[in-house]
Amino acid sequence: MQPLSPSILAFLLVFGAIPAPGGIVTSPQSLQVSGTVVTLRPFDRKAWLRDFGYLKKQLEGSYANLAWFASPQSPLDLKALNRRTERALKTAATDEDAKAAILGFVEGFHDGHLRAAAPLEASAGSAAALPKPDYASLSPAEGAAALGYAPISGVAFSLPFEALAGCRLESDGLARTFRASISASPGGMRYGLVRIPRFREQDGPPQECLREWSDQLKSGHGIDVTALRSKVSQTWFRTLADQLRRFKEEGVAAVLVDLGGNGGGNDSGDWAARLFTPREVHSAPLLLSAAPAAKAYFDEQLGGLRKALREQPQASAETRARIELAIGAFERRKIQAELRSWDLSWVWQERRPWNPTGSGRLVEAGFASGQFDYLPLSTPGDREALTSAYWAATVDSFRGAWDGPVYVLTDGRTASAAEMFAAVMRDNRIGKIVGTATLGAGAGFMLDEPPIELPHSHLRFQMPNCVRLRSDGSNEVSGIQPDLPVLPRQGENSRGRAARVLEAMDADLQRPKP
């Protein structure tokens, strides 16, 4: 028989599985086995309960969705979740039991942005400063890789429309951003399908970055990373707009935007909606948790607005007035964030109707598009300055590339910025949602913050600091429900469900309009 290792023997001794021989135990926290001192950490239930109390205090102070989850509008019974977690901690026998209880508590919110973060490794001293990258010495391929341009999300449609009869692939999503096809439904209707796997320009094919990098190298002025990113971002939208115009030329009955499995990205999820209609598109109201990050966010916005006034003297008087208006609004919000103080300890004992700025530590922060939820089409000379106050002006060159019916395909992995796109499309009556409900991650972070760390266990958690509102006043974190549900059927493969998505669109288009 192999002798027991010191660590296993220590475990057995602590939990009484074997008696401790005389003279082995040297203290309650350590023991000596064969000359080896094994340090023990006895289970400390009180410390775990203090960790849980600390976590709840941090949620009360910084978690943007807390009051929503404590409201009757939310499906979560927060009082019951709190009670179950306390009971689990009070009956836990090991650190693993207690850890599982706290992780289960966080997971119980079903908020895709409220999640455990990786543990920290102890520092071995101050890290040496890294030299700045010498971008001018890199080839286009090396540069694109250094900036992270690579297709990390699947380019194929989330359902195999390509495998259906009557599908003609227009773009494979590799040589050109966005997989696209002209597809015929079983009923004979022709649809333009476009796949958006992620709302982040870096996650697509790197060809545009390679081209821009090569152009900058040829210019002899070095590599301007900011200008490069801006150019590639514009190309992302231009490619999508061009595809929509091709669909129009092909005379398709409607466009289906495939967001299945799209886990989010950035603000392009809001801006892109403007390509699908010539009508006004209004962005969602944005709120921030009145925590220290709010001040930093408002300072960042104010810095960008003042910089636009300084560096864009050619902007029209109207645009400058809008920027001045935005500066005043963000200054007032910054003061409100510093003064706002609400006691949210009630959320663990009762439910209260949700009032975005009256029942939680939330402060108005403008809209998901900046200070304004909508502005008319800008002129090229004003556009750069205007984007400091109205970020969606970035896509003014591509507005209304499509003007017909639109459907948005979602599933349980559609999240974050993809939910923002779906919500803007639905709430502005641009398109209908088809498929299944989205994940329910909603808004996440308007400014990066370090995770909170529990004092005893050192568990770390990311905590969302912003909220986007739907047109009915609800919180986007509750998920987007489909207008045309197409749920999986027993015994049906994904090809069959792809056909039923097109059939659902057929039926909707043929339905008499009110």
Range of the domain at 29: 6-39
Residue 92 to residue 84: CA distance in whole angstroms: 12
487: nearest Cα among 386, 432, 426, 412: 412
Q: How many CB atoms lie within 10 A of CB 52?
A: 22
Residues 144 and 34 in one domain: no
Domain count, the chain: 2
Residues 152 and 32 in one domain: no
Question: What does the block give as tokens for 470?
Answer: 């739907």
pLDDT of amino acid 333: 94
Q: Does residue 288 lie in a domain region?
A: no
496: nearest Cα among 105, 268, 186: 186
Residue 168 to residue 268: CA distance in whole angstroms: 28
Q: Does residue 310 lie in a domain region?
A: no
Q: Does residue 244 lie in a domain region?
A: yes
Residues 264 and 408 in one domain: yes
Burial class (CB in 10 A: 0-12, 13-18, 19+), 110: middle
The tens place of each residue's pLDDT in the chain, 514 residues long, gives: 444 444 444 444 444 444 444 433 333 444 555 555 555 679 999 999 999 999 999 999 999 999 999 999 999 999 999 999 999 999 999 999 999 999 999 999 999 999 999 988 876 666 678 888 888 888 898 888 888 888 777 789 999 999 999 999 999 998 888 999 999 998 899 999 999 999 998 888 888 889 889 999 888 888 999 899 999 999 999 999 999 999 999 999 999 999 999 999 999 999 999 999 999 999 999 999 988 888 999 999 999 999 999 999 999 999 999 999 999 999 999 999 888 878 899 999 999 999 888 767 899 999 999 999 999 999 999 999 999 999 999 999 999 999 999 999 999 999 999 999 999 999 999 999 999 999 999 998 888 889 999 999 999 999 999 999 999 999 999 999 999 999 999 999 999 999 999 999 999 999 987 7
**Are the C-beta atoms of 88 and 94 separated by less than 8 Å?**
no
Handedness of CA 261, 266, 269, 272 (dihedral sign): negative
Residue 215 to residue 341: CA distance in whole angstroms: 52
pLDDT of amino acid 34: 53
By three-state DSSP, how is residue 53 classified?
helix
pLDDT of amino acid 221: 83
Q: How many CB atoms lie within 10 A of CB 494?
A: 14
Q: Does residue 303 lie in a domain region?
A: no
Q: Does residue 383 lie in a domain region?
A: no
Burial class (CB in 10 A: 0-12, 13-18, 19+), 416: buried
Residues 25 and 144 in one domain: no
Q: Does residue 450 lie in a domain region?
A: yes
Report how many helices (DSSP H) and strands (DSSP E) the chain contains, helices first.
14, 16
Give the CATH number for residue 415.
Answer: 3.90.226.10
Give a three-class secondary structure readout of 233-253: HHHHHHHHHHHHHHHHHHCCC
Q: Where are the alpha helices (DSSP H) in 188-283?
A: 207-219, 225-250, 268-271
Q: Does residue 486 lie in a domain region?
A: yes
Q: Does residue 162 lie in a domain region?
A: yes
Question: What does the block give as tokens for 115?
Answer: 């999640």
